[in-house]
Amino acid sequence: MNETGCKTAVLLIGHGSTRPEVKSAFCALADLVRAGSDNRLVEVAFLSCGEPTIAGGIDRCVEQGARRIVLCPYFLFAGSHVRNDLPAAMAAAGQRYPELELLLAEPLGVHAKLGEVVCERVAEALGKSTVTAE
């Protein structure tokens, strides 16, 4: 719980995939978020492919006592999904749960830590390289 006594959940939202290993990886990311924050109520949802859907993820949060949900899009930029689809899902959830506070976090965007991750991935790829450019 936070300082106001309102139980807050984080709903980590991904695009989704038909591949089970993608869902497993996304759930592992949710575990990292849960472990790295004071908030232990972290759920996942998928926008397009996979279960739970955003509505299902919101339902799971409410079933666990959430009175506020921060929808956190795991997308790089504020494209159509973030600008249109997520607000529509929030509006629908607001109809089902009028007492629920729904907040939309910014997408990942341009961030120094993401730059660090890209540099790490490049270094990993170079470490695997068997062909050198001349």
Alpha-carbon span 27 to 43, nearest angstrom = 8
The pLDDT value recorded for residue 2 is 45
For tokens 């695009």, what's the residue? 15
What is the predicted pLDDT for the residue at 5?
A: 59
pLDDT at 131: 58
Q: Which domains does the chain have, with CATH numbers?
A: 8-108 (3.40.50.1400)
Structure-token pair, residue 98: 């009028």
Residue pLDDT tens, the chain, 134 long: 444 557 999 999 999 888 989 999 999 999 999 999 887 899 999 998 889 999 999 999 999 999 999 999 998 877 777 788 899 999 999 999 999 999 999 998 899 999 999 999 999 999 986 655 55
d(CA 68, CA 41) in angstroms, rounded, equals 11
For residues 10 and 68, is the Cβ–Cβ distance under 8 A? no
